[in-house]
Amino acid sequence: MSRALLQAWTKTLRRHGADRAIVEAAGGTAVTFSELDVRAGAWLHRHAPDPARLRGRAVVFAAPNGVGWVEVFLGLLKAGAVAVPLDAGEPPAAQRRLAESLHAAGWWDGTRLVALPGAKRYRDPAICIVKLTSGTTGQPRQLAFTDKQLLVDTRQITATMGFGRRDLNYALIPFGHSYGLASLVVPLLAQGVPLVGGTAPLPHAIAADFARWRPTVFPGVPAMWRALAASDLTLPGLRLAISAGAPLPPEVARDFAARLGQRVHSFYGSSETGGISYDRTGDGALAGNVGRALRGVKLTARPGQRLQVSSAAVLSHGNRHPGRWIMPDRVQLAASGTVTLLGRRGKTVKIAGRRVNLAEVSDRLRRLPDVREVWVGASPGAEPVLGAVVATRRSAADLRAALLADTAPWKIPKKLITVTALPLTARGKTDTRALLAMTF
């Protein structure tokens, strides 16, 4: 069994045990690294008196960000279990169904560890976590990672971004998401980077947390930066603002810089690869790109505007090409190494007997003036209808007229909706389900 992350945690305890590890801004609860270790051990002893039964087997849990989340995760690491974190808002019945479908040994329901029959052991004893991602299908996929891969990802991120032990991380993004694991949880455990759990993802709550605790690093998502840029609030103490989870519109980056006198740094990654690229200066966010490869990551342009990511953090379990992953996104990789996201690879659908590439329609809309974000989809069924949701101040009629100038009529979305911003999930990704509901 690989114990690299636990070994790193032991070093953190030895060096910083008496130091503050986590503060929950909402209630003021604070624990040191040593106290966190004791609490994780107590959780394991209380709920899994026979931890050998969990070794190499999955345990599903959902909890809000905070001390309790880390207790469970660290306790599972100590037991040698495979942690499967879910979104905190997942209904309990859905949590249990998912645990059973994964043949998990247990499900933490928030009060007790429920033993489940038919548990399967993972063949690779080094696997310590399974990330669940719906991708574009809406169906959860299992992505199994070793603790060494988690460590590599975090080290590549912190080394490139330049934050560490002397910083205070501000935690609003979900701990269990790939972004939160690599930017918040693993830096806490392996590098002793303390964090303060944010009260709520609302501008006044964020500003109040900064005024009281003065965190220095804020990994956020575009919706947070948009709301803060539109407010009259300040973030005292902030030295590094990071945006990931979805493309950051350049006008949001410009508004934030003008309002707060500080740039947001775009970060690009995926559940399969971990961190990919980072905008080191903040110039990229202003220009609409996501910077260059992280340290330890190699990027290669592939046919069809595809990007191959190579690093020791890339998914290996179930991957035909361990250490390499070809992204589903369409990108432009400049000679300088700068990455610009062009959107997802578009599937082709037949509209009135003619083939239409959704990516082509998206690109055409994205090139129109004053268009910030675009989503294009097609309704299910034998006779699909083309639809689009566009973040812009322009009217749908105005956009439709602009498209008619050089776009075939069957390539113009029949249902064209304009909004101020595309809806996002709790993880900061485009909410496809909400967009489908709006459009069809």
pTM of the shown model: 0.84
List the structure tokens of 75: 């306790």
Could you say which DSSP state residue 182 is in?
I
The alpha-carbon radius of gyration of the chain (Å, integer) is: 22
Residue pair 333/301 in contact (Cβ under 8 Å)? The answer is yes
pLDDT band at residue 286, thresholds of 50, 70 and 90?
A: very high
User: pLDDT exceeding 90 applies to what percent of the chain?
Assistant: 79
Return the higher-pLDDT residue of 342 and 111: 111
Distance between CA atoms of residues 383 and 50, nearest Å:
56
List the chain domain ranges. 4-151, 199-344, 348-439
Q: Is domain 348-439 classified as CATH 3.30.300.30? A: yes
Distance between CA atoms of residues 238 and 253, nearest Å:
16
Average pLDDT over residues 351-363: 79
- pLDDT tens digits along 368-412: 999 988 999 998 876 788 999 999 999 999 999 999 888 878 889
Residue 139: its pLDDT value, please?
A: 54
Average pLDDT over residues 8-24: 97
Residue 264: its pLDDT value, please?
A: 98
Give CATH for domain 199-344. 3.40.50.12780
Average pLDDT over residues 58-83: 96
CA distances from 210 to 81, 235, 259, 291, 396 (A): 36, 6, 16, 27, 39
Strand (E) positions, 279-398? 292-293, 298-302, 306-310, 324-326, 329-333, 339-344, 348-351, 354-357, 371-378, 386-392
Residue 138: its pLDDT value, please?
A: 44
- Is residue 60 pLDDT above 60, yes or no? yes
- Is residue 32 pLDDT above 70, yes or no? yes
Distance between CA atoms of residues 68 and 392, nearest Å:
41
Pairing relation of β-strands 106-108 and 58-62? parallel
Residue 214: its pLDDT value, please?
A: 98
Distance between CA atoms of residues 208 and 199, nearest Å:
9
| Nearest of 354, 333, 332 to residue 343 by alpha carbon | 332
Q: How far apart are the first and last CA of the chain?
A: 49
Give CATH for domain 4-151. 3.40.50.980
User: pLDDT exceeding 70 applies to what percent of the chain?
Assistant: 96
pLDDT band at residue 2, thresholds of 50, 70 and 90?
A: low
CA distances from 92 to 48, 97, 107, 111 (A): 20, 9, 10, 12
Of 34-38, 112-116, 133-137, 241-245, the poorest mean pLDDT is in 133-137
Residue 429: its pLDDT value, please?
A: 75
| Nearest of 320, 278, 283 to residue 297 by alpha carbon | 278
- Is residue 11 pLDDT above 50, yes or no? yes
Average pLDDT over residues 418-440: 86
Please identify which residue in the block is written with the tokens 């310590």. Answer: 128
Residue pair 182/275 in contact (Cβ under 8 Å)? The answer is yes
Please write down the long-range contacts of 279-285, taking CB distance under 8 Å and 24 or more positions apart: 280/160, 282/253, 282/257, 284/338, 285/243, 285/248, 285/250, 285/253
- Is residue 135 pLDDT above 50, yes or no? no
Please identify which residue in the block is written with the tokens 């200066």. Answer: 281
Distance between CA atoms of residues 305 and 346, nearest Å:
12
What is the length of the chain?
440
Residue 43: its pLDDT value, please?
A: 97
Could you say which DSSP state residue 112 is in?
S
Q: Annotate 3-19 with DSSP letters as a single string.
A: -HHHHHHHHHHHHHTTS
Average pLDDT over residues 183-206: 97
Question: Matching CATH topology for 4-151 and 348-439?
Answer: no
Return the higher-pLDDT residue of 430 and 152: 152
- pLDDT tens digits along 288-329: 999 999 999 999 999 989 999 999 999 999 899 999 999 988
Average pLDDT over residues 2-15: 93
